[in-house]
Amino acid sequence: MRTYQVRTYGCQMNVHDSERLSGLLEDAGYVPAPDGETADVVVFNTCAVRENADNRLYGNLGHLRPAKVKNPDMQIAVGGCLAQKDQGEIVRKAPWVDVVFGTHNIGSLPVLLERARIAGEAQVELKESLEVFPSTLPTKRESPYAAWVSVSVGCNNTCTFCIVPALRGKEKDRRPGDVLAEVQALVQQGVLEVTLLGQNVNTYGVEFGDRLAFGKLLRACGDIEGLERVRFTSPHPAAFTDDVIAAMAETPNVMHQLHMPLQSGSDRVLKAMRRSYRAERYLGIIERVRAAMPDAAISTDIIVGFPGETEEDFQATLDVVRQSRFANAFTFQYSIRPGTPAATMADQVPKGVVQERYERLVALQEEISWEENKKQVGRTLEVLVAEGEGRKDEATRRLSGRAADNRLVHFAVGDETPRPGDMVTVEVTYAAPHHLVADRALGLRRTRAGDAWQARQGAPAQAKGVSLGMPSIGRPAPLPVEPSGCAVTS
């Protein structure tokens, strides 16, 4: 049987699309390539948000060229946002690529691979609009205990730095019943945590005329027995409504964790970005979230060095960061993306200035993150165990997982070793800027999610000690992806 490998770049939306690509390929008879071996079919699921996305893709394609020369039957496919943007340019620059497909036709991949094999020439197929909602496609999920669930695709905003609306199209919403049916099916398979995905997740409902639809969807998730953790990413501050805050506060399995992109704290820059909110509104949302949920952990995205950004503008961003007290922030240096309005704006900020501001922002946020994490010391947390070993030291064996507020926790293993998907109760003993450490394991709750993980390993699940009162969903181990539906564009 032919083997495959999918390489993913970019945001969670791309990660979820790659799960569908893997599902499609396995449905067509392909099998995953063993670790360390070059696959018969290598698929690149690309991102186009920042400048180095192009360089990374063509560099990786160049590295594969010798393998392709050695094995002419090997096939290389390129999909995702960069494919939608560059289209036929990819085959011109890398003529050893066999298939190029876009964001709207990922379901075509197996057919295009077969067509390229028979025809002996590259196949390029890019649809201009979505024909079938991707969630109808077969999916091979990376985690048996946590899952992404798309509520919408596309974006109706016109942010001047962002090319994604041109590549993913206008927002398309799924019906609530379809979303909830998928969540219910996942829970029956052992999943304990779902993350609802959308480019602008809180505008969900725009297609069917219900602007309160997202809050209602969160509350409906609270009625699904066995679903322990619900998250969502990413909301747009301009569309963030109080009914969503109420749904988060009043629905027990919706986590008190919010990722809400800021991008800039300067009203002048926000206007140039076409971000339809200002700093006062953003801070007002945070104030209301914390009034309803004092324990809420809030994270964000920030762009440094947008065209025309002055030192005064940058200071305004630092002021908002100080007031917001983010648990963490994903910070980006602005890079020109051809095809966006910002690419041709005057007053592009010199790279040296951008770098210096970026370092100041990172230093400030590191200080705040550490201070906020120190507040967790002494607290008792329930942690969803992730796959992979945790932080290592000579004296203690540790595993890793996520607390309810999504903080990363490295915890000491007790007498019983938990499985990925199980829940452990721990006491936090140390805080670092980006993680917590727990030297005391207070309890272990085995779950159906842990059973599902164990079944994947080919071993029978151990029923002893399993608690099914509310199986717990866990987030996968930290992924090398951007934090939100489209991190710097949400």
pLDDT at residue 394 in the model: 60
Residue 159 annotated as part of some ligand binding site: yes
Task: Please check whether residue 467 lies inside any domain of the structure.
Answer: no
**130 located within any domain:** no
Same domain, 151 and 55: no
Dig out the tokens for 75 from the structure. Answer: 């096939």
Residue 149 CA: distances (Å) to CA of 13, 153, 232, 237: 9, 11, 9, 21
Q: Is 8 within 8 Å of 14 (Cβ atoms)? A: yes
Among 74, 94, 125, which residue terminates a domain? 125
Predicted local distance difference test score (pLDDT) of residue 339? 83
Q: What is the CATH classification number for the domain harbouring 28?
A: 3.40.50.12160
On whether residue 132 sits in a domain, the answer given is no
The answer on 99 and 175 residing in a single domain is no
* 362 and 285 together in one domain: yes
Tell me what pLDDT residue 306 has. 97
Note whether 23 and 81 are same-domain residues: yes
Report the pLDDT value the prediction gives residue 401, as an integer from 0 to 100.
96
- 89 plus 172 within the same structural domain: no
Residues 265 and 317 both lie in one domain: yes
The per-residue pLDDT for 395 is: 67
- Both 302 and 217 in one domain: the answer is yes
Residue spans of the chain under pLDDT 50: 461-490
The CATH number for 423's domain is: 2.40.50
Residue pair 305/336 in contact (Cβ under 8 Å)? The answer is no
- What is the phi-psi region of residue 59: left when phi exceeds 0, alpha when psi lies from -120 to 50, beta otherwise? alpha
φ and ψ of 389, to 5 deg: -70, 155
Closest-CA residue to 423 (of 407, 401, 408)? 401
- In this structure, are 31 and 87 located in the same domain? yes
pLDDT of residue 460: 54
Looking at the fold, whether 367 and 388 belong to one and the same domain comes out as no
- Given this model, what pLDDT does residue 391 score? 66
Q: What's the pLDDT at 175?
A: 93
Domain final residue pick, 94, 125, 156: 125
Give the phi and the psi of residue 112 in degrees, each rounded to 5.
Answer: -65, -40
Q: Which residues contact 424 (CB under 8 A, 6 or more apart)?
A: 382, 383, 385, 401, 411, 414, 418, 441, 443, 444, 445
If one counts the domains in the chain, the total is: 3
271, part of any domain: yes
* Residues 240 and 368 both lie in one domain: yes
For residue 459, the model assigns a pLDDT of 59
Instruction: Say if residue 486 carries a ligand binding annotation.
Output: no
pLDDT digits (tens, 9 = 90+) for 340-361: 999 999 999 999 999 999 999 9
Judge whether 81 is annotated as a binding position. Answer: yes
468 domain-assigned: no
DSSP H stretches of helix in 44-130: 52-70, 81-86, 89-93, 109-119
Q: State whether 249 and 154 are in the same domain.
A: yes
Per-residue confidence (pLDDT) for residue 424, from 0 to 100:
96
Give the global pTM.
Answer: 0.86
Residues 162 and 266 in one domain: yes
The residue segments making up the domain with residue 408 are: 380-456
